[in-house]
Chains A and B, each alone.
Chain A
Amino acid sequence: EAGVAQSPRYKIIEKRQSVAFWCNPISGHATLYWYQQILGQGPKLLIQFQNNGVVDDSQLPKDRFSAERLKGVDSTLKIQPAKLEDSAVYLCASSVAHSKNIQYFGAGTRLSVL
């Protein structure tokens, strides 16, 4: 069974530029999560989708971050414009709906904002 796929693995941009990350969850997983992991910290949930609907985006900085999950499968997270403090690893995870929170993670995208 293929795991959660994320691309790119690394991205370096300058502040005020835009960037997009892509995630393809495990086939059949209805729930998709985007996390931000700043160096030295645990993952922080940015947004959670159930199929193509948003369940929780309370910690998503909506003035600069956006995410979509068209057709309830893969997802894109965008930052525009980026700030220095957005430097982090962006992790995507997926789970089967009602699976008692067992999440499967991708390898992440490491973003450096200069």
Chain B
Amino acid sequence: AQSVTQPDIHITVSEGASLELRCNYSYGATPYLFWYVQSPGQGLQLLLKYFSGDTLVQGIKGFEAEFKRSQSSFNLRKPSVHWSDAAEYFCAVGAGGGYQKVTFGTGTKLQVIP
């Protein structure tokens, strides 16, 4: 069964600073990987996804993530954080094939200080 670990429950960064959110996954084959963002009182919005090919993927709102098979990681990065990025971020791993199960991590809450 697939699983996802987000080791950081809460991260605080200053506005304008760089950001990296960690994600480690466990899956027997090549996974489908996702990052979602959830603002308070809202559903989850897809930031970016990795299926295959180029291991550095670009997403919306200036985010990017890098797939590293050797480390089973898919860390999310942003070079300069804006106050509006304060939210909760979820990494997820999906199984391929006709049965599209997705497993979510426990999330990392991002606080941005001015």
Which A residues contact B (CB, under 8 angstroms)?
4, 31, 40-45, 48, 55-56, 91, 93, 95, 98-108, 110
CB <8 Å contact, B43 and A56: no
Residues of B within 8 A of A (CB-CB), count:
27
CB <8 Å contact, B106 and A42: yes
Q: Could you say which residues of chain B place their CB within 8 Å of the CB of A100?
A: 32, 49, 51, 94, 96, 100
Instruction: Report the Cα distance A92→B22, complex, angstroms.
Output: 26
Could you say which of B46, B49, B90, B100 contacts A43, with CB atoms under 8 Å apart? B90
Q: Could you say which residues of chain B place their CB within 8 Å of the CB of A95?
A: 100
Q: Which of B4, B94, B104 gathers the greatest number of chain A CB atoms within 10 Å?
A: B104
Given the known interface contacts A4-B43, A107-B43, the answer about A41 and B100 at a Cβ–Cβ threshold of 8 Å is no
Given the known interface contacts A42-B107, A43-B104, the answer about A91 and B43 at a Cβ–Cβ threshold of 8 Å is yes
Within 8 A of A (CB), among B90-114: 90, 92, 94-96, 98-107
Closest to B46 in A: A102
CB <8 Å contact, B102 and A41: no
CB <8 Å contact, A105 and B43: yes
Q: Could you say which residues of chain A place their CB within 8 Å of the CB of B98?
A: 98
* Min C-beta distance of A110 to chain B, whole Å: 8
Instruction: Report the Cα distance A42→B4, complex, angstroms.
Output: 10
Given the known interface contacts A43-B90, A108-B43, the answer about A103 and B102 at a Cβ–Cβ threshold of 8 Å is yes
* Min C-beta distance of A41 to chain B, whole Å: 6
Closest to B9 in A: A40
Instruction: Report the Cα distance A107→B4, complex, angstroms.
Output: 23
Q: Could you say which residues of chain A place their CB within 8 Å of the CB of B107?
A: 40-42
Q: Could you say which residues of chain B place their CB within 8 Å of the CB of A42?
A: 4, 90, 92, 104-107
Enumerate 17 A-B pairs (CB-CB under 8 Å) in ascending A order. A41-B106, A42-B90, A42-B106, A42-B107, A45-B103, A91-B43, A91-B44, A98-B98, A101-B95, A101-B100, A101-B101, A104-B46, A105-B45, A107-B41, A107-B42, A108-B43, A110-B41
B34 on the interface (CB 8 Å rule)? yes
